[in-house]
Amino acid sequence: TMTADKAVSFEDSVDTPDDSSSSLFDPASLLPSPTTGKSTPQPNRSATKAALHALLSDTLRPSPCNVFGSGPLLVSDIPQSARSDGIIDTKNDTSSTSGGVIMGIDEAGRGPALGPMTYGAAYWHPTKSQQPIPPDFNDSKQLSAEKRQVLFRQIQSHDDIGFVLRVIHASEISRNMMRKTPYNLNAMSHDCAMEMIWAVLHAGVTIDTCYVDTVGMPDAYRQKLERVFEGYNINFVVEKKADAKYAPCSAASVVAKESRDAIVQNWKWSEMPNFIPQSGHEFGSGYPSDPKCVQWMKSNCNVDRPFGFPDFVRFSWGPTKKL
């Protein structure tokens, strides 16, 4: 997990869009359509990069997700090689509509008391890709920060890799878990994974195999996914440490980890100008076992009266309640 002492420059891992690409990005595309309930893919890779920059650099939180409903969901532009419309199979030199993409799903930031949890998905077609897929994907937690940056840039610029990013901000986690009937983190995780799968399917992509790093019991989770997506003929592989075994899941891990680290590093306080945090961003790893995090939380408890903490903090976490 990124710490303030070892933070890596966001600009090193995410392409900064120019003004023309920024104009192509519609913030409304980060929330489900109020009429169809579906998510909208970005129209091209420039718009994808602009949307990613807004989420990670500006920590954009489209209204009303900070106080109601689900958080941002970024669906990249859909690679031509991933579309279900009869593209040339470059390895067999044939035109075919058979088969589908391989997809991976993983999360980052489950345990911290500060900041969002992020869910990432990455996918590509195993035979129709025009460019080689980077061979060195691995569990993002085992990669160096520099290597993770390189891979995240490659994912963003690769014409044949599509990705999805779901940001579950601390405010969403807090209000879900503090309901009269709690909506727990495992249920949120399952729903976010399914939300990303639906987004890719609704964009016209056929999924052949989906690798998921499990949350809870693998068999029960796999059976749940098979029930929800019955009729789509998706082969679900749900395992512990799937991010260290399967390249699409490893790529998803990179998307999730790099995105969370960037959001935390660049966090913009929604409570300003009435709230200025003590010690700024010097909160260490954000885990409640980190003395630096604990000291930051103690210093900022009740600074923003009467709310107790800024919305960067997970109010539902046990250590938060004790303070």
Model pLDDT, residue 309: 86
- Coil, strand, or helix at residue 149? helix
Distance CA 323, CA 318 (A): 9
Distance CA 69, CA 197 (A): 19
Distance CA 314, CA 169 (A): 9
Model pLDDT, residue 173: 94
Model pLDDT, residue 19: 52
- pTM of the predicted structure, to 2 decimals: 0.88
Q: Among candidates 1, 2, 4, 54, which has minimal Cα distance to 24? A: 54
DSSP E strands: which ranges in the chain? 73-75, 87-89, 94-96, 101-108, 117-124, 162-168, 207-213, 235-239
Model pLDDT, residue 96: 42
Each residue's pLDDT tens digit, 60-90: 888 877 777 788 999 999 999 999 864 444 4
* Cα-based torsion angle of the residue sequence 283, 281, 57, 166 in order, rounded to the nearest 10 degrees: 30
Model pLDDT, residue 2: 35
Distance CA 227, CA 222 (A): 9
Sign of the torsion formed by the C-alpha atoms of 153, 240, 2 and 62? positive
Distance CA 78, CA 64 (A): 26
Average pLDDT, consecutive stretches of 10 residues, N- to C-terminus, the chain (323 residues): 38 56 73 83 94 92 79 95 65 53 97 96 94 82 87 96 97 92 94 96 96 96 98 97 94 96 93 84 92 92 75 88 76
Model pLDDT, residue 140: 67
Residue with tokens 């949350």: 215
Asked if residues 316 and 290 have their Cβ atoms less than 8 Å apart, the reply is no
